Structure 1
Amino acid sequence: MMQKWNRLYEKYGQKVIVPCFLVILMLLAYLLMIQMTKPESFNAKLFSVAERTIRSPQTMIDTKKTEEEKTAAENSVEDVYTFNRETGQNRVALMDSFFAYISEVQGEVKEKTNKQETVSAADKVKLIKAKLSSNVSEKITASISDTMLLGLINADAKDLETVKTIVSKEVSLIMEGNIREADLNTKKVQARDDIELSNLPSQFKTTAKALASYAIVPNETFNEKETTARQKEAAASVIPEKILQGQVIVQEGQIIDRETYRQLGMLHLLDQKMPIKQYAGYALLILVLASILYFFTTKTKISRKKRQQTLMIFGVAYLFTLLLLFIVRLLEGANLNNIAFIFPASFLPVVLKILLRERYAFLGLLFISTTSLFVFQSDEASVVSSIITPFILLSGFVSIISLRDYSRRIAIFRAGFIVGLFNVFCVVFLMMINNSTILNENSLQSVFYAFIGGLGAFILALGLIPLFELLFGVLTTSRLVELANPNHPLLKRILMRAPGTYHHSMMVANLAEACADKIGANGLLVRVGCFYHDIGKTLRPPYFVENQLQGINPHDRLTPEQSRDIILAHTVDGADILRENHMPEPIVDIALEHHGTTLLKYFYLKEKEQNPDVDEASFRYPGPKPQTKETAIINIADSVEAAVRACAEPTREKIEQIIEGIIKERLLDGQFSECDLSMKELEQIRETLNQTLNGIYHQRIQYPDEKKGEN
């Protein structure tokens, strides 16, 4: 089954399987987020009795009440009017002009009379109307009757001046005050009353009243722009009506009236629905987290295959953590007080630190802390909802710091115990900060759950890490230590079938591990990879020189082409054997790549003696070339160990020449063109091989013959 999956992954993985897999993970994470954050539904009916106390799961603005408050604020703003002092002055001037025309008409009438011309009453009225209509206003002639006009024309100068003075004074006095359209009639009545009480001759009072009534007009106009601005300002100053998280909407036993029912509906406590914008918001949250992970991963200098493996491991671990969070939420629904503290906050950081790197552990902690913030904010007002996110953050951080040696299960378990104790301490001081009661049953439950959650996270991680290793072919330190055990069946197989190869592998492992440690590569991976890199030789042990008995070489009976096929096949055969035994992919890659595409020079030259036209490519290993520093180190160490072992008397100079020659040959052949091995690191590898091999093959001190037996 695993072989079929590996073949399918190799063929379609990078282009189809991995992208689809990641999209599916995002969709599942989104669905879990929605399921955990949607409001709880209550079977509440209008005018029924509430079966339980219902609190608001979130803080929300009551838009209806807020709009009502804004409307009330706008309506409370009085209309703004603009007072125009010039209006009063203009109306007084109008009266002065009116009386001036009366005086002018009186003069014309007198002049005509002096000329013995007859001027009738109608002519006098016509004459004054003509002047008023063309120079003052037609409306004044409509407000003043002909009789009144004629009376003023016929009045003597003293009476006319008295009427003018009283009218102008009254108009000026009234117009000094604020007059709106609604107050106009009142002001006119006031003017008429004042004139009635004045010392004006009675025959002119009616005319004076009419003139004053005509002259008085509104001097305040409605300012629509300023009124609208003040209404908007009043509306803006209204504090939005909010339903706060944890606020009691209805107490148990109370009647659910229309207002309460409306609030329950607005909070989606009747239909278990969220607003569309919240669905969109959570979708964007998942998208942002996925983008952060993607760009975080692309900044790491790793191969595309390794990057996709990292994304899948992180995605599956995060999704599994969300599933654990969902289970905790279900337990909360079963009215288990403070059960949220049992959430294994350390699980994701621990798994990511062991499977990937510490930097991914911190990123995973950021992800799960952010997620918990949104998940638990939908809780009713409780101690848990306010301190669970800092609890998860602190617990995860301490788990990363405390987990140092994860090559041994007991060390991981010990770290889990430490985190469990810290969780207890963390819950206590967070409750103290929150001013919660500590010495009661609920607090003791919280402490117990926190300890179980801390220790349980590590136990759960220990149980699931082998599954991650199997699914994604990832290697952990503990797995490498397990594979390095001499009692491993495959190592026993090599020892029993090809003891020379076994000894050669051990020697190469010592050399390669020293080089890996020198340049900062994964020394343990190099060592274990060396143990298994030549397992393909167990199919035909005698055809490899380290397993041949002295003087017996099976290749003497074979053609160069037959020998070539046997030798070249051991890398592919080894990879197949390792895959059949479900070995991690990096170990399989080492078996396949440790010779790269190097030339099988001995048999190639032997064939060329018989066939000068032989194709050199047919005598090269199938590859691929080393893809990692670790495989490149093994490529060099493998050849160097074999060459030095074949040397009759390996002196310091000979060893240096062998190492120098092999490294130079590999460089010129382009064997390291697909891995990120630098020239500086190659020089460090050369120096380390020289030191190590000279330490192994140092010249022994020559003792006297009689003491040789003592050595």
Structure 2
Amino acid sequence: MKNRKKWIDWYDKTGKRYVTPVILIFFFVVAFVLICQMVKPESYNVKLFEVAEKTIRSPQTIEDPEKTAEEQTKAAADVDDVYVFNRETAQNRESLISSLFAYVTEVNRDAAEKDAANKKAAEAANNATPAPTTLDEKLASLKSKLSKDVSENITSALSNTVLTTLLQMTVKDIQAVEKEVISALDVAMDQSVRKDNLTDIKVGARDTIELSNLPTSYKGIAKTILSYAIVPNEVYSAQQTEDRRKEASANVVPVKILQGQVVVQEGQIIDREIYRQLDLLHLLDQKMPIKQYAGFALLLLSLAVMLYFFTNKQKSLDKPTKNQYMLVFSSVYIIVLLMLLIIRFLEGVYISNISFLFPAAFGPMIIKILLNEKFAFMMTIFTSVASFFVFQSDATAAVNITVPTYILLSGLASIVVLRDYSRRSAILLSGFIVGLANTAFVILLLLISNTGLLTLAFWGPVGYAFLGGVGSFVLGIGMIPLFETVFGMLTTSRLVELSNPNHPLLKKIMMKAPGTYHHSLMVANLAEACADAIGANSLLVRVGCFYHDIGKTLRPPYFVENQLQGINPHDRLTPEQSRDIIIAHTTDGAAILRENHFPQPIIDIALEHHGTTLVKYFYYKAKEENPDVKEANFRYPGPKPHTREIAIINIADSVEAAVRSCDAPTKEKIKAIVDSIIEDRIKDKQYVECDITFQEIEVVRATLCATLNGIYHQRIQYPAEDK
């Protein structure tokens, strides 16, 4: 007992903060294990150079890095060397040749001017005429000019014979040779000239000279100069060649083993290439790459974070309720994943199109009933995301798109269709409608995927989809009581069931404490009207009122509404004894409800509907006997109301009892009673732990007055009939 108390104390002080992380970790770990179990590839017991016993298809689309590398190498090798065309080369060669002929002309002119000057000077001095400039001198002068301040020494390429011949030519002949050489050079250098075609270009240019009108004696000189002038005008660019090869390599489409592609046919020899592909697909070791495990882990971590922030954003929920919602949501999602696992197993034994039998509406339907519509939409999204990866390993790409889309549409349909879930018949009707909607969705999706109409592949999924829709709701109806019991969830259907007058506990109240039963019905009517007025859960309020005084059935005569003929057992008791009996009806009621496995919200109403209010009558009676008596000893143990619904019942319970005990209640008396009780509770700070607002309290005040005025309205007094 001490250990249990220690555990409870630890949980209340410290343990509560760990509830949310534990729930999310549980959700993450279990979901991760299940999804990895479903998506991991099937393994085959095959050996190298053996005959395949069955046809093996690729379970997924995956890149073949080895083949891709081969194709990239081949693409790079197919790229030709890049040569850069330099148009300035032709201009430079033409300038060089023009300079050659200009220098020849200049040397001849200088020599002629020098000879003339020498001759004139000799005549003036009556000397003998000096010898003219020799050819060797001219050649030396020409070489000096051609080799001075130049980037290319032309004299090393052209022989003395060529230069001497040029020096012996007339100006007209020089101009003619220059014109033909420049013309042929221009044509030749306008082409792409490389080392590998340099000889051919030169031969073509020489042929041009041969066909020209130059004197035959000069054609050889012209060819020699032209051959010298023609050089490659395109040079190899290592950088550009490398860039183009890299680009060609990058543009190679990765070689992939496609999903559904036959890797090895039955009866085929498993050679090294096939074995390598099987190993690449992890069909030999039943393993996934580490990055896939990491990817699924990050995906589920993202879903867990989304669930946490989405739940935390629900301002209308307190912390324990948020934890409960996350736990219920996680549990339902785990069940959904288990259903997916079963469907994957059935697919593994080759039941065609069995994936459409998956009860896609189950998760959203049960979450809408247990929690609310917002969480149901989130469940639909979570289920669709999981199904996309679970059905990724199907043989055809069409199924990859069709099944997750079908699951998404079916889940949304269940949320839209399910409106009245207070009766099982209404839930079953919604399941039938969702089944019909599923058939419409599947027909639409199969038409889009161009499936033949008069085939089993078309009508089989249609039948499965209908069964999946109806089956989702059948499963949901069967599992809702389990969730209600395990998690203490309170659903509309459960509340309707508890409101049945034939319920054993209601019969017990009616038989043992009829006054309390009538009082509970009156309080239920008042509180339900108030709950409707402020938008609280009116059905919960009504049912809670039915059972809020169940504790009084243990000692009915000690409560004024059950006392007959003016007999009051409290007259024989001390105020302290009376106090204990009165106060005990809240804890006794909670204990009775727990024993009968009632939902926690109903138990809370029985325990908290008096809050920590004062048992005034017996307190003042005790004070008469002992002025030092402590007020705290005559208060209910609480806790104070923590929801709007319990706060409403707290007010309605006291108001109904007070008005019932009032003689000839009028509007003014009713209003005074209601105002007095509400003001007393506010001053006593009974509602500081719940989220009811002052505005809502004013609405409750007005609603109570209006409802009570309708019940206790003044009747017209008719004269008695004569008998």
Q: What is the TM-score with the length of structure 1 in the denominator?
A: 0.87
Aligned length: 707
Query: 1:125/1:563 Cα in 2 relative to 1: closer, same or farther (>3 Å)?
Result: same
Aligned counterpart for 1:640 among listed residues 632, 655, 658: 655
Contact 2:364 2:377 in 1 (8 A): yes
Residues 1:367 and 2:382 aligned together = yes
Residues 1:94 and 2:96 aligned together = yes
Contact 2:575 2:622 in 1 (8 A): yes
> What is the match of residue 28 of structure 1?
30
User: What is the root-mean-square deviation of aligned Cα atoms in Å?
Assistant: 3.7
Query: 1:129/1:575 Cα in 2 relative to 1: closer, same or farther (>3 Å)?
Result: same
Moved more, 343-352 or 685-694: 685-694
Aligned counterpart for 2:679 among listed residues 655, 664, 673: 664
1:34 deviates by 1.8
Cα distance between partner residues in 2 of 1:10 and 1:361: 31
> Superposition pairs for residues 30-69 of structure 1, below 5 Å?
30-66=32-68, 68-69=70-71
> What is the match of residue 363 of structure 2?
348
Cα distance between partner residues in 2 of 1:417 and 1:177: 82
Residues 1:278 and 2:292 aligned together = yes
Cα distance between partner residues in 2 of 1:382 and 1:208: 74
Contact 2:32 2:297 in 1 (8 A): yes
> What is the match of residue 252 of structure 1?
266
Gaps of 5+ in 2: 123-129
Letter in 1 for 2:472: A
Aligned counterpart for 1:220 among listed residues 234, 246, 258: 234
> What is the match of residue 497 of structure 2?
482
Cα distance between partner residues in 1 of 2:704 and 2:171: 137
SS in 1 for 2:263: strand
> What is the match of residue 289 of structure 1?
303
Contact 1:515 1:689 in 2 (8 A): yes
Contact 1:98 1:136 in 2 (8 A): no
> What is the match of residue 575 of structure 1?
590
Contact 2:451 2:457 in 1 (8 A): no
Letter in 2 for 1:211: I
Letter in 1 for 2:498: L
Aligned counterpart for 2:693 among listed residues 675, 678, 686: 678
Query: 1:685/1:154 Cα in 2 relative to 1: closer, same or farther (>3 Å)?
Result: closer
Contact 1:298 1:307 in 2 (8 A): yes
Query: 1:518/1:154 Cα in 2 relative to 1: closer, same or farther (>3 Å)?
Result: closer
Query: 1:85/1:562 Cα in 2 relative to 1: closer, same or farther (>3 Å)?
Result: same
Contact 1:143 1:210 in 2 (8 A): no
1:479 deviates by 1.8
Q: Percent identity?
A: 60
Gaps of 5+ in 1: none
Residues 1:593 and 2:595 aligned together = no
* C-alpha distance after superposition, 1:573-625 (max 9, x if no partner): 33233333322110111112111222222333344445555544443323222
> What is the match of residue 126 of structure 2?
none
SS in 2 for 1:181: coil
Query: 1:540/1:104 Cα in 2 relative to 1: closer, same or farther (>3 Å)?
Result: same
> What is the match of residue 321 of structure 2?
306
1:22 deviates by 2.3
Residues 1:624 and 2:639 aligned together = yes
Moved more, 438-447 or 655-664: 438-447
> What is the match of residue 158 of structure 2?
144
Contact 1:178 1:220 in 2 (8 A): yes
Letter in 2 for 1:313: V
Query: 1:518/1:168 Cα in 2 relative to 1: closer, same or farther (>3 Å)?
Result: closer
Cα distance between partner residues in 1 of 2:187 and 2:143: 28
Cα distance between partner residues in 1 of 2:399 and 2:159: 89
Letter in 2 for 1:53: T
Letter in 1 for 2:658: A
Cα distance between partner residues in 1 of 2:447 and 2:205: 78
Residues 1:408 and 2:423 aligned together = yes
Cα distance between partner residues in 2 of 1:612 and 1:139: 133
> Superposition pairs for residues 456-475 of structure 1, below 5 Å?
456-475=471-490
Contact 2:414 2:430 in 1 (8 A): yes
Query: 1:278/1:707 Cα in 2 relative to 1: closer, same or farther (>3 Å)?
Result: farther
Aligned counterpart for 1:315 among listed residues 330, 333, 354: 330
Cα distance between partner residues in 2 of 1:7 and 1:427: 55
1:180 deviates by 1.9
* C-alpha distance after superposition, 1:106-128 (max 9, x if no partner): 56666478685898887665544
Letter in 2 for 1:413: L
1:675 deviates by 2.5
Letter in 2 for 1:36: M
1:176 deviates by 3.8
Letter in 2 for 1:362: F
1:472 deviates by 1.3
Moved more, 303-312 or 259-268: 259-268
SS in 2 for 1:316: helix
Contact 1:428 1:438 in 2 (8 A): no
> Superposition pairs for residues 371-520 of structure 1, below 5 Å?
371-381=386-396, 385-424=400-439, 426-441=441-456, 445-495=460-510, 497-520=512-535
> Superposition pairs for residues 131-280 of structure 1, below 5 Å?
131-137=145-151, 139-146=153-160, 148-149=162-163, 152-153=166-167, 164=178, 167-191=181-205, 208-222=222-236, 239-280=253-294
Contact 1:412 1:458 in 2 (8 A): yes
Cα distance between partner residues in 1 of 2:445 and 2:191: 69
> Superposition pairs for residues 605-616 of structure 1, below 5 Å?
605-609=620-624, 612=627, 614-616=629-631
1:322 deviates by 0.8
Contact 1:144 1:207 in 2 (8 A): no
Letter in 1 for 2:294: A
1:179 deviates by 1.7
Cα distance between partner residues in 2 of 1:547 and 1:97: 136
Contact 1:105 1:128 in 2 (8 A): yes
1:190 deviates by 4.5
